[in-house]
């Protein structure tokens, strides 16, 4: 279970998160939606302890991780797998070494680790690329290798930062299916960030909308679809007209 | 009060420079302490350390050789022509041997490694920072200090003295080439003069300095890379900053280490 409570984070004078509360039950699939630059990536990095909050706490299975020392934090992180928005593959290693990194670090023999890596790569729709370097892959392929790396050590909690962005629609749907399968078969708890509403409706157990540093609405996909909140409504229908103003863009329409 | 505001501004500038310096020094020392701590606990990054020894050490050999040979040649040439004015040209061997082992060997090796391997360390770690690879290591329960910095630190501390030994020997040989082949000095005289006044302490002191430079280069360059901000431009700044900071550290600490180790 993940519980974020009263989370505040500023960078300089830029107050990005302003008291975020979020509860993700075990086995639940939470999708966080929100505009570009609204702090979704910042939020997900707090959940795995990459950023320290200015105020507020993050509980993972009841344990407050914000005050943990490095050694304990690494223990807690073994429960997690994370897909970064930019994939964050290690560019000094081959694809399979990337995927099996956590496994070889915890003592698995390279031969066995490579087999596991190949199997995970197949799960994300990639084959025959295990010996390539990350620089030889396309953006969408890198994303999927990042996903394979995140699930390789069979974590209980998965964090996906825009898993389907930059991937063609058919493959994106396959990724959605994979995320659903992870939840149904392995009962993982997950937090996914996305802009892609179609994907959000498909994979979410609950959807939370992050706006101006707060979760202003959360609910099941059906509740969100039939929301009466004008901000949420504007966001999910993807309209430039509405209460959410886009700075610097003049909207003229006859 | 005449000149008041500008004096005020000068003091403010000096004050903020002092604070910045102290803050940087503090962060570098904290990273150093963390590196030592991570170095002492298993797992040990043997494979990565060997890879870095190759990067820092083996790949620097050609540049070190060229630098050392030419430095030895220049030393011999200048000493010979200069000392000839008061008939002391027989001391060429001594000057070259003492200069190389006590100063030129360790300092030039340090500068070469800082410019080559140190810049690479800062650029590599900086890139890993801005592309979130360092964060990714964290999420995979791997300490980036242990995985990235310790191997560079150990490799650099071991390889710098080794490279310095090479530089010492080749510098003295370069001096030999000029003194003996160009100026027709007797080979036996060059060697005798080189050996007679050279103490073991000169060599050890030089190597101890090299070891310190190795540690300092790795920590300073890894520090700059590790805390890079601001994309590709930030990586560029971190890299040049790392080289400048290493050069300063080497040249300034060289004086104090010399005064302490090589009295
Ligand atoms: N390390 C940092 N230093 C300074 N500012 C930061 C840092 N990380 C994020 N920010 C700022 O925080 C804000 C939120 O960033 P974040 O990456 O979380 O956005 P996001 O919601 O993930 O957007 P996108 O959908 O485009 O990925 C941005 O305005 C960004 O400039
Ligand atoms: Mg983001």
For residues B223, B225, B228 and B231, what is the CA-based torsion angle, rounded to 10 degrees? 180
Ligand 1: residue of A8, A9, A11 to mutate (most ligand atoms within 8 A of CB) is A11
* Domain around B203: 48-261
Tell me which DSSP letter residue B198 carries: -
Domain count, chain B: 1
- Cis peptide preceding B43, ω within 30 of 0: yes
Q: Do B135 and A74 touch (CB under 8 A)?
A: no
**Phi, psi dihedral angles at B205 (to 5 degrees):** -60, -45
Beta-carbon neighbours within 5 Å of ion ligand 2:
A 41, 85
In a domain, B162, yes or no: yes
Q: What is the pTM of this model?
A: 0.90
For residues A189, A194, A199 and A200, what is the CA-based torsion angle, rounded to 10 degrees? 60
Ligand 1: residue of A37, A45, A88 to mutate (most ligand atoms within 8 A of CB) is A37
Atom number, ligand 1, closest to the C-alpha of residue A38? 21
Q: What percent of chain B has pLDDT over 70?
A: 98
Q: What per-residue confidence (pLDDT) applies to A254?
A: 46
CA distance A181 to chain B (A): 22
In a domain, B257, yes or no: yes
In a domain, B167, yes or no: yes
Strand partners, A10: A15
Cβ atoms of A180 and A168 within 8 Å: the answer is no
Q: Do B141 and A102 touch (CB under 8 A)?
A: yes
Q: What per-residue confidence (pLDDT) applies to B207?
A: 95
Domains of chain A and CATH, by start = 1-79+192-246 (3.40.50.300)
Model pLDDT for residues B42-62, shown as the tens digit of each residue: 888 899 999 999 999 999 999
Average pLDDT, 10 consecutive residues per value, chain A (254 residues): 93 93 92 91 94 94 90 92 94 95 92 94 90 92 92 93 88 87 86 90 93 91 89 86 71 52
Q: Assess B253–A contact: CB distance below 8 Å, yes or no.
A: no
Cβ atoms of A118 and A196 within 8 Å: the answer is no
Q: Assess A129–B contact: CB distance below 8 Å, yes or no.
A: no
Q: Which residues from chain B sit within 8 angstroms of residue A77, using beta carbons?
A: 138-141
Q: Do A77 and B141 touch (CB under 8 A)?
A: yes
In a domain, B107, yes or no: yes
In a domain, B101, yes or no: yes
Long-range contacts of B251-259 (CB under 8 A, 24+ apart): B251/B107, B253/B212, B253/B213, B253/B216, B254/B103, B254/B106, B254/B107, B254/B110, B254/B209, B254/B213, B257/B208, B257/B209, B257/B212, B258/B102, B258/B103, B258/B205, B258/B209
C-alpha count within 13 angstroms, C-beta hemisphere, residue B260: 7
* Model confidence at B209: pLDDT above 90: yes
Q: Do B140 and A88 touch (CB under 8 A)?
A: no
Model pLDDT for residues B226-252, shown as the tens digit of each residue: 999 999 999 999 999 999 999 999 999
């Amino acid at each position: 279970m993940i519980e974020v409570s009263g989370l505040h984070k500023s960078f300089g004078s830029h107050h990005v998160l302003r008291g975020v509360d979020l509860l993700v039950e075990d086995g639940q699939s939470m999708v966080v939606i929100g505009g570009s630059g609204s702090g979704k990536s910042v939020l997900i990095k707090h959940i795995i302890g990459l950023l320290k909050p200015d105020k507020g706490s993050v509980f993972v299975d009841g344990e407050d991780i914000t005050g943990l020392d490095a050694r304990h934090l690494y223990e807690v992180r073994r429960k997690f797998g994370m897909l970064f928005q930019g994939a964050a593959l290690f560019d000094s290693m081959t694809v399979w070494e990337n995927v099996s990194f956590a496994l070889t670090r915890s003592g698995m023999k390279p031969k066995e680790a490579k087999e596991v890596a190949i199997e995970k790569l197949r799960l994300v729709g990639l084959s025959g690329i295990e010996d390539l370097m990350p620089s030889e892959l396309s953006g969408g392929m890198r994303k999927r290798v990042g996903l394979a790396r995140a699930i390789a050590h069979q974590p209980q909690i998965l964090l996906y930062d825009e898993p389907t962005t930059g991937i063609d629609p058919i493959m994106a749907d396959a990724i959605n299916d994979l995320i659903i399968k992870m939840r149904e078969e392995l009962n993982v708890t997950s937090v996914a960030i996305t802009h892609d509403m179609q994907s959000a409706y498909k994979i979410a157990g609950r959807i939370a909308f992050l706006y101006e540093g707060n979760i202003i609405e959360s609910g099941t996909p059906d509740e969100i679809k039939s929301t009466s909140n004008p901000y949420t409504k504007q966001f999910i229908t993807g309209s430039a007209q509405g209460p959410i103003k886009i700075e610097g863009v003049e909207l003229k329409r006859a | 009060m005449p000149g008041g505001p500008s004096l005020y501004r000068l003091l403010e500038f000096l004050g903020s420079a002092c604070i910045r310096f102290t803050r940087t020094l503090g962060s570098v020392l904290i990273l150093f302490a963390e590196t030592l701590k991570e170095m002492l606990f298993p797992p040990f990054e043997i494979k990565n350390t060997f890879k870095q020894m190759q990067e820092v050490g083996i790949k620097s050999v050609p540049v070190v050789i060229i630098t050392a040979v030419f430095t030895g040649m220049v030393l011999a040439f200048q000493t010979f022509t200069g000392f000839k004015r008061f008939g002391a040209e027989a001391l060429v061997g001594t000057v070259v041997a003492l200069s190389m082992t006590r100063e030129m060997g360790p300092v030039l090796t340090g500068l070469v490694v800082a410019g080559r391997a140190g810049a690479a360390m800062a650029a590599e770690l900086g890139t890993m920072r801005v592309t979130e690879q360092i964060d990714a290591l964290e999420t995979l329960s791997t300490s980036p200090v242990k995985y990235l910095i310790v191997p560079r630190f150990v490799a650099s501390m071991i390889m710098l003295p080794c490279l310095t030994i090479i530089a010492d020997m080749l510098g003295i040989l370069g001096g030999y080439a000029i003194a003996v082949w160009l100026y027709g000095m007797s080979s036996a005289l060059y060697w005798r003069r080189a050996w007679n006044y050279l103490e073991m302490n000169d060599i050890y002191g030089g190597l101890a300095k090299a070891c310190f430079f190795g540690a300092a280069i790795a920590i300073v360059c890894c520090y700059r890379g590790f805390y890079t901000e601001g994309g590709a431009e930030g990586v560029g700044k971190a890299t040049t900053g790392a080289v400048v900071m290493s050069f300063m550290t080497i040249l300034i600490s060289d004086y104090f280490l010399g005064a302490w180790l090589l009295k």
